[in-house]
């Protein structure tokens, strides 16, 4: 049959199928297997299939039942669950009870999960493609810093467009000993960790929160302690890591946020622009309104191109933290106990059906993309469970 179908037509037909069906199609014949295995088809499939079916991946950690919950939702105002896409979280988070893996980032359908420290083999990093149930465990190298009890770690997940490679970067720093972090980077194609230098002219730094990824670069909120007269204050900025050049760069924040506490700042993306959010949320028994001020960086070559794009105020309502900015400007907010709201410019806000006894900082939303990434380098996440079951049946 493949002799009667041009390659372009066959690619177009296959690109309309779910990724799990695509995997079964590899067994039809050698020519189909070869086509599906090419990088060109995988890129074509990623762009075409997901463009017509935009969806979101949501993760929450259920504190009461000590479990992680993943679900796929249609990218709509109601955030309705896609009943045809069911994701089961297959990883064991032991040895720590009531401890969930952090999501470092998500690129082209690949989710990067990591433990808090990632200093030992038991605290591995996992690249996971939930659409085809493929995993790639990455075991971090031992730390090369002194006084291990006081160190901190920042993790980033990026994509090198030049070499067509996924990369994980780990920055380990001891704020009592070393003014600069030690940096290790892992490439999926080489499957090795390498130490790379950190700029010698950067002062002692700390990283806050999860990074964001945009156009081949990873961004973190960064801050340092500086003397200001008789006081010690925090000075915030943004740390940028280029996954292709493997170089760091510091980006200054808008002037009103320069000496802001890092606790009050969050990074997000909107229409291919980097967004800094300053939420001023209501606390218990407090008066006033919850406010969210947002700045966008318009030109990455000009650090003075910050523009305040939005001010939102809600009287005596705490909508939680901003989880994601939709393409139309609506805000998806995650509040306490897993309640999710969408802020709409016309109707105010909309309550979704996501509920539960959820840890607020565990709520995560990003694009869900069907892809064939990690197909040739990862393992089936269910293979270990299958082997165990087969052993029991023998």
Report yes or no on 14 lying in a domain: yes
Report the distance separating Cα 269 and Cα 281, nearest Å: 20
- For position 393, what pLDDT does the model report? 33
Tokens representing 348?
């105010």
Which tens digits make up the pLDDT trace of 321-373? 888 888 888 888 876 666 777 877 665 666 665 555 566 677 888 999 999 99
**Is 39 part of a structural domain of the chain?**
yes
Whether residue 388 is predicted with pLDDT greater than 50 in this model: the reply is no
Region label for 43, one of left (φ > 0), alpha (ψ between -120 and 50) or beta (otherwise): alpha
pLDDT digits (tens, 9 = 90+) for 193-249: 999 998 887 776 788 878 999 999 999 998 877 766 677 777 888 999 999 999 999
| Of 297, 268, 236, 290, residue with least CA distance to 366 | 268
27: in domain? yes
Closest by Cα among 249, 322, 335, 256 to 295: 256
Q: What is the CATH number of the domain that holds 7?
A: 1.20.1280
User: Does some domain include residue 268?
Assistant: no
Residue 389 lies in a domain: no
- What residues make up the domain containing 14? 1-52
Q: How many domains is the chain partitioned into structurally?
A: 1
Residue 65 phi/psi, 5° resolution?
Answer: -100, 5
> What's the rounded Cα separation, in Å, for the pair 49 and 289?
42
Output b/e per residue, 250-272; b: 16+ Cβ within 10 A. Answer: ebebbeebeebebeebbbbbbee
CB 224 within 8 A of CB 208: no
Task: Please identify which residue in the block is written with the tokens 């605290």.
Answer: 123
Please check whether residue 28 lies inside any domain of the structure.
yes
């Amino acid at each position: 049959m493949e002799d009667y179908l041009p390659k372009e037509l066959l690619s177009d037909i296959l690109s309309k199928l779910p990724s799990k069906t695509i995997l079964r199609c590899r067994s039809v014949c050698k020519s189909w297997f070869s086509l599906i295995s090419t990088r060109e088809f995988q890129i074509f499939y990623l762009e075409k299939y997901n463009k017509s079916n935009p969806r979101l991946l949501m993760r929450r950690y259920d504190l009461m039942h000590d479990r992680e919950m993943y679900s796929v939702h249609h990218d709509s105002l109601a955030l309705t669950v896609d009943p045809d896409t069911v994701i089961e979280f297959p990883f064991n988070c032991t040895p720590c009870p009531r401890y969930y893996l952090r999501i470092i980032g998500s690129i082209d359908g690949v989710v990067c999960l990591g433990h808090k420290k990632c200093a030992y083999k038991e605290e591995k990093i996992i690249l996971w493609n939930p659409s085809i149930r493929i995993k790639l465990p990455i075991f971090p190298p031992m730390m090369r810093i002194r006084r291990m009890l006081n160190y901190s770690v920042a993790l980033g997940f990026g994509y090198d467009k030049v070499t067509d490679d996924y990369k994980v970067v780990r920055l380990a720093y001891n704020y009592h000993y070393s003014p600069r972090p030690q940096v290790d980077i892992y490439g999926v194609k080489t499957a090795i960790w390498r130490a790379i230098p950190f700029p010698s002219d950067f002062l002692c730094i700390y990283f806050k929160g999860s990074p964001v990824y945009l156009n081949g670069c990873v961004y973190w909120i960064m801050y340092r302690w500086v003397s200001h007269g008789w006081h010690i204050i925090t000075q915030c900025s943004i740390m940028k890591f280029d996954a292709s050049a493997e170089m760091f760069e510091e980006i200054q924040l808008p002037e009103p946020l320069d000496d802001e506490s890092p606790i009050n700042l969050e990074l997000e993306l909107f229409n291919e622009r980097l967004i800094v959010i300053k939420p001023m949320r209501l606390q218990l028994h407090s008066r006033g309104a919850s406010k969210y001020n947002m700045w966008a960086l318009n030109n990455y070559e000009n650090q003075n191109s910050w523009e305040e794009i939005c001010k939102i105020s809600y009287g005596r309502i705490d909508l939680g933290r901003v989880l994601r900015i939709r393409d139309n400007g609506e805000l998806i907010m995650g509040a306490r106990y897993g309640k999710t709201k969408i802020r709409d410019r016309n109707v105010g806000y909309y309550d979704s059906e996501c509920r539960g006894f959820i840890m607020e900082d565990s709520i995560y939303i990003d694009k869900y993309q069907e892809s064939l990434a990690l197909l040739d380098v990862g393992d089936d996440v269910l293979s270990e469970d299958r082997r165990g079951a087969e052993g029991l049946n023998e």
